[in-house]
């Protein structure tokens, strides 16, 4: 097995695709199933957060006396189990509303043509949610390898998702490739950098190109309508690393 030198790690919502309000409904129903309270969705910004962190933010938006019963990691694990269960019921709802962002199928295909590149996910979604969303737009069983990657099923900041992907890549290939994280929010950029990855910001989600630039992303694009954009980023990441290697 050859080791790819670059791993392109995709965020899902706002980057690969838009899934309508299905994911929001899943989180709201999961939260209610666990707590018995209506989810205060209007109080919580979901973009860039993991499902685990959204669950905690929803809890923290409840009145203190209601939130007090749901402390610790047991709560987070219960939310993730409920979100996973809700996806089992609602995955079919995505077909009518989910759509890829401009140029995504072409960009994924262009990267797949390079044997030196592997593609996976660094997403805040739970595993089955990510699979449901990619399935709805025809990306689930293609070049994006869902068996690698990082998901929002555990505690901690979003950088954990990047670390999980790095561990999965290193587990398969023996050594982790250069990671290029592609996302639509400053939280994706922060997680990429904390995890030692190159950050690419794409302004097809909630954040503007200016916000992504201000967050320190090495590359910012309005969209990926031109598949050559990410191909060029991958090439430059490989060349930078090559130049930095001693004795070469």
Sites of contact with Mg ion (CB under 5 A): 11, 13-14, 184
Closest distance to Mg ion from the beta carbon of 87 (Å): 17
- The strands making up 117-121's β-sheet, listed across from edge to edge, are 117-121, 6-10, 178-183, 198-202, 219-221
Q: DSSP letters along 88-121, please? A: HHHGGGGTTT-EEPTTHHHHHHHHHT-TTEEEEE
Closest distance to Mg ion from the beta carbon of 108 (Å): 16
Closest distance to Mg ion from the beta carbon of 124 (Å): 7
- Residue 199 to residue 12: CA distance in whole angstroms: 15
**Residue closer to Mg ion, measured from CB, 117 or 121:** 121
Structure tokens belonging to residue 68:
């007090």
**Residue closer to Mg ion, measured from CB, 35 or 107:** 107
**Residue closer to Mg ion, measured from CB, 18 or 90:** 18
**Residue closer to Mg ion, measured from CB, 76 or 124:** 124
**Residue closer to Mg ion, measured from CB, 62 or 130:** 130
Closest distance to Mg ion from the beta carbon of 158 (Å): 10
Closest distance to Mg ion from the beta carbon of 183 (Å): 6
Closest distance to Mg ion from the beta carbon of 238 (Å): 25
**Residue closer to Mg ion, measured from CB, 13 or 56:** 13
**Residue closer to Mg ion, measured from CB, 34 or 203:** 203
- Residue 121 to residue 48: CA distance in whole angstroms: 13
Closest distance to Mg ion from the beta carbon of 185 (Å): 6
Q: Which residue of this chain has its Cβ atom nearest to Mg ion in the complex?
A: 14
């Amino acid at each position: 097995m050859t080791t790819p030198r670059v791993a392109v790690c995709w965020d899902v919502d706002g980057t690969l695709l838009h899934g309508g309000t299905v994911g929001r409904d899943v989180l709201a129903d999961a939260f209610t199933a666990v707590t018995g309270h209506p989810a205060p969705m209007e109080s919580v910004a979901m973009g860039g957060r993991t499902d685990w962190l959204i669950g905690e933010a929803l809890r923290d938006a409840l009145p203190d006396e209601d939130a007090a019963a749901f402390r610790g990691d047991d709560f987070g694990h219960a939310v993730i189990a409920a979100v996973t269960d809700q996806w089992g019921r609602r995955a079919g709802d995505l077909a009518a509303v989910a759509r890829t962002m401009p140029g995504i199928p072409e960009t994924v295909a262009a990267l797949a043509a390079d044997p030196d590149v592997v593609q996976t996910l660094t997403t805040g979604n739970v595993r089955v949610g990510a699979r449901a969303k990619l399935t709805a737009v025809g990306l689930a069983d293609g070049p994006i390898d869902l068996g690698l990657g990082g998901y929002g099923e555990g505690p901690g900041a979003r950088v954990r998702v990047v670390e999980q992907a790095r561990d999965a890549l290193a587990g398969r290939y023996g050594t982790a490739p250069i990671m290029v994280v592609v996302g639509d929010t400053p939280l994706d950029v922060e997680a990429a950098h904390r995890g030692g990855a190159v950050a690419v910001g794409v302004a097809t989600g909630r954040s503007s190109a200016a916000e992504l630039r201000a967050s320190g992303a090495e590359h910012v694009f309005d969209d990926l309508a031109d598949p050559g954009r990410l191909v060029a980023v991958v090439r430059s990441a490989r060349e930078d690393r090559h130049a930095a290697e001693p004795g070469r």
